[in-house]
Amino acid sequence: MDNTLRNLVIRRPNPSDARGVYELIRDSQTLDLNSAYAYLVLCDYFRETCVIVEVGSRVVGFLSAFRSPLRPDTLFVWQVAVAGSHRKQGISKRMLTYLLTKTAGPPITYLEATISRSNLASTRLFTGLAKAHDVPIEVTTGYQTELFPMEIQHEEEPLYRIGPFTPQP
C-alpha cells in the first residue's frame, strides 16, 4: 500500500474543516463552487452525512450528502472532491463506503446523485459502486439545463439511483 494511503484519516467533518473544504472544491476547478457559508453549514449541520479525508492537517477529500426529506432511507450525494495529488487512488469509493457503513439513523437503502454527462470520473465511481455491491443502478431525468440560470451554462445532470443496498451490521 502506498505510504500516502496509510496516512489517510477518514472521518466526519466539523466546522473548523469548512475553510479547507472550500479551498479543495475551489482548487478542483471542475466542481461547482458554493459559498464558504454553505461548506460551513455542511460541515456542521450535515456532518453525519458528510466525510472528510485528510493527510496530516490537509483536507484531500470531501464528500457532501444528505438524507432525502421525502425518503429517509435515501442518501443524496451532492459533491465528491479529491485533491489532484490524491486522485485515482480509490479515495472517492472509500468515502462512499464509509457513508454506507458508518451513517447513524435508519439504514441507507439507496444512494442518489445527479451527474453531468461529461463527468466520467463520477459516472465510473457510481456505476462501479453499484457493480461492487451487485445492486441495480437506474438513470433517469435529473436536472435539465433549462433549470439552471442562463449565465451559468450548466449541462443537464441525469439522476443516478443505486440500490437497494443490504444494511450493514
CB atoms within 10 A of CB 166: 11
pLDDT at 42: 97
pLDDT at 132: 92
In 3D space, the residue among 89, 78, 77, 63 whose CA is nearest the CA of residue 8 turns out to be: 89
Distance of CA 27 to the CA centre of its chain: 16
**pLDDT higher for 165 or 154?**
165
pLDDT at 3: 47
Distance of CA 124 to the CA centre of its chain: 13
> ∠ at Cα 35 (78, 100), nearest 5°?
25
Task: List, for residues 72-122, the tens digit of each pLDDT value.
Answer: 899 999 999 999 889 889 999 999 999 888 877 788 899 999 998 888 889
- As given in the structure block, the three cell numbers for residue 36 are 464558504
pLDDT at 4: 55
64 strand-pairing partners: 79
Residue 20 has pLDDT above 90, yes or no: yes
Please state, for a pLDDT cut of 90, what percent of the chain lies above it. Answer: 60
Instruction: Delimit the domains of the chain by residue range.
Output: 3-162
SS3 48: helix
At the topology level, CATH places domain 3-162 in Aminopeptidase (3.40.630)
Residue 169 has pLDDT above 60, yes or no: no
pLDDT at 83: 93
Q: Report which DSSP code applies to 166.
A: P
CB 66 within 8 A of CB 29: no
Q: Report which DSSP code applies to 106.
A: S
Q: Report which DSSP code applies to 168.
A: P
161 strand-pairing partners: 112, 138
Q: Report which DSSP code applies to 73.
A: T
- Predicted confidence band of residue 32 (pLDDT cuts 50, 70, 90): confident
Residue 35 has pLDDT above 70, yes or no: yes
Residue 162 has pLDDT above 80, yes or no: yes
